[in-house]
Amino acid sequence: MFQATNSYIKFERRLSVSEQQQEQNKVAVVIVAHPDDAEFAAAGTVAKWVEEGWDAYYVICTDAAGGGPDEATDVGLAARQKMTETRKREQRAAGAVLGLKDVIFLDYPDGLLQPTIELRRDIVRVLRKYRPARVICQSPDRTWEPFMAIGRYHPDHMAAGQATLMALYPASQNPWDFPELLNEGLKPHKVKEIYISGAPHVNFFVDISDTMDKKIEALMCHESQFIGRTEELAKMMRSRVSDLGKKYWVEYAEEFHRTENR
């Protein structure tokens, strides 16, 4: 255990040169399918980065119209529009808790997200506009060990992850991809660090002991998703993130597959 902790400390130190290079562009973008996805996966990390002086943005790929209760019988256009408005409001409230600079909604139909060229271009547009040094995204692949948690791998999550990784390389940094974006004044941009949540292999953790309360507070902003279950959910989340922390000898942790785009 202590060897793993020491290895982590060395890894952090090894990144110091890269972090110094990013001082002029301390921008992080989180790209997910739905409102609340980022709170479950990475809100503690985002809150920590914001406290360290990073500008953070969320990109929500869908319109969130399909996030109502499973027992619903009215799922028509009016009901879907109301759900969209509710979930966007909740996500902005969560963003305010975390100190986000903005939340961008791409408004693709909830439940039907695909890693299309159009979605890839829209993500590239965001990357070139905000020019982040760090991106957090969802895994395009399922984890099967020790078991496959089916609720974690909504098809929209995997589509968002696949589209984001394809946007990160090579499209965002390649002027030959989506040349129309050059006409919008959006020059190519290379993202240095990529953090993938829910990946089959994790190699990095963030100690969120000091920002766990903000993670919970931001998650609780999504009231429409947890009616009658807020206390239960908060307790479950603390237990889950505490279990991750025990792996790394900290109180609370979030973990990722982290890679550098060299």
Find, among 76, 40, 53, the residue nearest to 225 by Cα.
40
- pLDDT (tens digit, 9 = 90+) per residue, 32-48? 999 999 999 999 999 99
Q: What's the pLDDT at 7?
A: 37
Nearest-angstrom CA–CA distance, 194 and 260:
6
Find, among 102, 96, 100, 112, the residue nearest to 63 by Cα.
112
- pLDDT (tens digit, 9 = 90+) per residue, 39-77? 999 999 999 999 999 999 999 999 999 987 777 777 889
Find, among 11, 18, 13, 44, the residue nearest to 30 by Cα.
44
Q: What's the pLDDT at 172?
A: 98
Strand partners, 57: 29, 102
Q: Confidence band (pLDDT; 50, 70, 90) for 149?
A: confident
- pLDDT (tens digit, 9 = 90+) per residue, 183-202? 999 999 999 999 999 999 99
User: Hey, which of 20-24, 95-99, 231-235 has the most confident mean pLDDT?
Assistant: 95-99
Question: What average pLDDT does the segment 161-178 reach?
Answer: 98
Q: What's the pLDDT at 6?
A: 36
Question: What average pLDDT does the segment 22-27 reach?
Answer: 73
The pLDDT > 90 percentage for the chain reads 77
Q: Confidence band (pLDDT; 50, 70, 90) for 1?
A: very low
Q: What's the pLDDT at 24?
A: 58
At 150, list the tokens.
Answer: 């089916």
Q: What's the pLDDT at 8?
A: 39
Nearest-angstrom CA–CA distance, 106 and 64:
10
- What does pLDDT average to over the chain? 90
Q: What CA–CA distances, in Å, run from 108 to 30, 143, 204?
A: 17, 26, 31
Domain annotation for the chain: domains and CATH numbers: 27-251 (3.40.50.10320)
What global pTM score does this model have? 0.90
Given a contact cutoff of 8 angstroms between Cβ atoms, the answer to whether 102 and 30 are in contact is no
Question: What average pLDDT does the segment 225-247 reach?
Answer: 92
- pLDDT (tens digit, 9 = 90+) per residue, 106-134? 999 999 999 999 999 999 999 999 999 99
The pLDDT > 70 percentage for the chain reads 91
Alpha-helical segments (H) within 34-190: 37-51, 77-98, 117-130, 155-168, 180-183
Q: What's the pLDDT at 80?
A: 93
Residue 16 has pLDDT above 60, yes or no: no
